[in-house]
Structure 1
Amino acid sequence: MKLSIQTDEDLTETEVLIRCVEVDEHIAAIVATLRIHDRRIVGKHDGTSVMVPAGDVLYFESVDRHTFAYTAGSVLEVTFSISDLAQRLEGSAFVYAAKGCLINLCRVTSLRPYVGGRLLALLDNGEEVVVSRRYAKDIKQCLGV
């Protein structure tokens, strides 16, 4: 793969152009990584509305009909359900880890087997997320494991 970067002071926003023979899983992963950094998540923290880049979110979790976004430094309550977030973030690095959990694959540093055919995903902040049997195969495939 050949990589080149051109700077242009006249541009008003960053443009990324990918030239390839075909769109394979590697190109799709690159596109997913780029897309995630262009999206923002709005949530509430201590009664204040906060916007964070989607790439900063480690995972989303639904608990008692409330959805939370977990970042390295905070927990935000978001108004969308897990299924709404999955649709909004489709094509990005967020995938289901369990029925009520979306995980950011860009933030996973390792996977290891866990009880009952599940997986334990270690995130780059040291936190662990359990991946259900239902989604374990998909996550392994996405990560090329």
Structure 2
Amino acid sequence: MNIIELDAVHNQREITRLLEEHRHGADSSIPPYERTMLSLAAYENDSFVGGVTGDVAWNILNVNLLAVDPACRGTGLGAALLAEIENRARQLGCKVSELTTMSWQAPHFYQKQGYEIFGEIKDCPNEGHTKYYLKKRL
């Protein structure tokens, strides 16, 4: 057996194929695993000021990245980006959104947007910090 590095797109395709084979054997009523990528960007005067990315699979939105330029923080841009990706996910049939954030990032921001913490890893990436897992019904 050989374990090698493989480009992420090819590896993901192969892993998905194996998971689909397993799904067919386990329960044929489970829908296929199909991922739809979402990527939104905000510009002001031709300058990038924020963005959000995520993917949708099995009616769940997974928010991957969200960031706003420091000069635009507190303006509602982050909330608008999050609301827009959630709206697009709803149009794709999503019932739930999930994401992770670190203690020094934005757990309170996400809670203001209706997310609730359902798990955490303390002392990550080092002592005194926490990784939070959040979810929201859409």
Richer in helix (by share): 2
Q: What TM-score comes out, normalization by structure 1 length?
A: 0.33
Q: What TM-score comes out, normalization by structure 2 length?
A: 0.34
Higher Rg of the two aligned structures:
2
